[in-house]
Structure 1
Amino acid sequence: MTHVKRFQSIPMSKSMRGLCKEEDYAFLGVSGSSTRGSPEDQGALEENWKDTKEARARRRLEGEQQEKERLRAIEDSKKEREQQWRRHIAEVTSSQEKTLQDRRTRLHSFREFQRKVLAEEGGAEGAAVHLLVTRM
């Protein structure tokens, strides 16, 4: 492990040093076991390495799946909010249309009432009333 002393002066984060050590030991264990050690040790190291690799792949897939679920949930909530907004706009529009219709009806009945009152007030003023009513 002379390389450890030689490369110790290189600034590295603790996690990076840990990864490098892990890779060094895995490499040295696999390549060194062919000349030293028993075949059982080599098989155990390879199996441990494979298990670690499979665990990493499994965690990566789980993370990707969780991310997809999170994005799907966000998309669903966006769709739901959009539908609620559309319903709200439809309700507001409907109430405004009803209010306008009611106003129109009340105004129409008021004008009819005005015409009737003006017609009853005077026959001589009928021409002026007729002119006034037609302007309205």
Structure 2
Amino acid sequence: MSHVKRFQSIPMSKSMRGLCKEEDYAFLETSGSSTEGYTEDKVALEDDWKDKKEVWACRHLEWEHQEKERLRGIEESKKEKEQQWRTHIAEVTSNQKKTLQDRLTRLHRFREFQRRILAEEEEMEGVAVDQLFPGITGHQD
């Protein structure tokens, strides 16, 4: 007992030393029982710590799952928007092609109309000149 050696230098009466020994033994007895309580408390604390760690691990897994779901949702949204954009571009392109084709058709009709009118005018001019001036053109009836 190291405490005995430590306290020998302190001047006190024999009765006082006896009281101190009794207190020491009383303390040691309670500390022995408190050691049992300490180990039980230690076990309880370890169990609480393990429970908290498990709860934290569950929360962490849940958070990771939610984060993956959120990222997947964002990715799906991006893909959907990209698909909508492609569809929109395809529709615009199709409408532009149709418009250009319609304009080309109208232009061809107009050119045909111009040719027909010019041909009719040339015929009318040739007939009109022949009828008006039969001798000039070299045709004699």
**TM class, shorter-length:** 0.5 to 0.7
Larger gyration radius, structure 1 or structure 2: 2
Unaligned runs of 5+ in 2: 1-33, 127-141
- SS in structure 1 opposite 2:37? coil
Q: Deviations over 1:44-80 (max 9, x none)?
A: 2121110011111111111111111110000000000
Residue aligning to 2:41: 41
d(CA) in 1 for partners of 2:89, 2:62: 40
Residue aligning to 1:53: 53
1:84 and 2:99 matched: no
Unaligned runs of 5+ in 1: 1-33, 127-136
Residue aligning to 1:95: 95
Task: State the TM-score, normalized to the length of structure 2.
Answer: 0.60
Task: State the TM-score, normalized to the length of structure 1.
Answer: 0.62
Deviation of the 1:43 alpha carbon:
2.4
Amino acid across the alignment from 1:59: R
Count residues with an aligned counterpart: 93
Report % sequence identity. 71
**Deviation beyond 4 Å, 4+ runs, structure 1:** none
User: Aligned-residue CA RMSD in angstroms?
Assistant: 2.1
**Higher RCO (CA < 8 A, seq sep 6+):** 1
